[in-house]
Amino acid sequence: MQRRRTGTIAVVSALGMTAVLGGCGAGADSDEVTLRLVAADYGDSEANSSQKYWDGLVEQYEKKHPNVTVDVSVYSWNDVDRKVKEMVAAGDAPDMAQIGAYADYAADDLLYSADELLSISTQADFAAQFASAGEVDGTQYGMPFAASTRLLFYNKTLFAEAGLSAPKTWDQLAADAAALKADGVKYPYALPLGSEEAQAETMQWLLSGGGGYTENLGTSYGIDSAENVATLTWLKDDLVGKGLTGPVAPGKLNRADAFAAFANGQVGMLNGHPTLMQMAAKKGVKFGMVPMPGVDGQTKVSMGVADWMTAFKQNGHAEQVGDFLDFVYDEKNVLAFSREYDLLPVTASASDVMSTAARDKDLRPFLEELPLSELYPVGRTSWATVSAAVKKRIGGAVVSGGSPTAVLAGLQSTALRAESGE
């Protein structure tokens, strides 16, 4: 295996996604090292929690690397970014962390770059769009570990009972939602704009309206654009205002709760990523998946999401961390994690396998969307601040008495202040 450097191995893992550990091998005389991993939980129950998954992987890894101890702490997506931020602020950064953004830490010179850690072959295997999305000023600090795209899920049984077909436009979606409401469906369209993942639902809708968080080819924020104002105004007036989004205010509805309601047969439609397939199938819900409807037809650009592996410099161990990550990104390990949690791989080698393997056929609609997807502006140091602000405020734009124009203008101001370092 071609490397930029040589050295012993130690372990860490930071990926809310779990990767199967194994080994690029450490020298038998390597020093004892304890590495701390903070990871997000991708499971939907205790049976498939990321903690359980990591515990098994760590046990396997430590058998082959007796001089390495891996201490794993798993937190929900509601808490993991905040927890890491608190640890860093206290001068107690973990060795690695799997979180939603990395650029602010990179700007503060707290992270190793990918080429300080990974072998040439490992780094070259990242899909190009993810490798570039992980860069700040041309240097890659964010290492993608898993990805997903969004499709519109719909309950086939509820649609058949109402005589509906999958929508291709916003107007069709609203009409379908109205028919489902008339049939007593609890959530005709579930609109999760709660604190867990509001930035994702928001971005999908903004893209479907021809806007997004950025403009001018991603060079600047455009949160308060006319297209975005029109999109949120439509949501406020034509969905939320007509009682088509269910009994919970969008700003109070989290993605996990919306997914659970869909799996319980209480949701007609919602935006979902691949994990929802497994949840719904376990409960016997028959579902279909189509690209997100847009103003005049199906959305041309879907939202893509990548979760990021970061490695903090505070404790050293660059050689050990790099050797471990080379093993984590091995094709079989990337595939194992992706299949466990119905996520998309971020490496070309694993994607090639998934695109043809019969066992992965259910994921192909998401894989097909991935090359044309748009990711969060994670390379901007301001994104963590902007994302947090969206989670906190966006729900207020679509409720009765809310002002999409005012909320989006406030978010644009927050973004510009964060960009300038205020």
Alpha helices (runs of H) in 304-400, residue ranges in sequence order: 318-328, 331-341, 348-354, 364-369, 383-393
d(CA 142, CA 78): 20
d(CA 170, CA 153): 15
* Residue 134 amino acid letter: G
- Tokens 């959305």 sit at which residue? 299
Contact 109, 310 (CB under 8 A): no
At 64 the pLDDT is 83
At 212 the pLDDT is 96
d(CA 137, CA 146): 23
d(CA 125, CA 332): 13
Task: Name the residue among 193, 218, 216, 228 with its Cα closest to residue 389.
Answer: 193
Phi, psi of 112 (to 5 degrees): -75, 145
Phi, psi of 85 (to 5 degrees): -60, -40
DSSP 291: P
Task: Name the residue among 110, 114, 69 with its Cα closest to residue 326.
Answer: 114
Residues in the chain: 422
- Tokens 């109205």 sit at which residue? 178
Cβ neighbours, 10 Å, residue 345: 31
d(CA 345, CA 400): 41
At 30 the pLDDT is 52
* Residue 14 amino acid letter: A
Number of H helices, E strands in the chain: 17, 14
**Residue 213 structure tokens:** 């968080």
Q: What does R_g of the chain's alpha carbons equal in angstroms?
A: 21
**Residue 147 structure tokens:** 């990805």
- Give, in order, the Cα–Cα distances in Å from 418 to each of 47, 84, 109, 249, 412: 40, 20, 18, 29, 10
pLDDT, block means (10 residues), the chain with 422 residues: 36 33 39 88 83 80 83 89 95 91 91 96 94 92 91 98 98 98 98 94 96 90 98 98 98 96 98 91 96 92 90 91 84 88 92 95 90 88 91 96 97 95 74
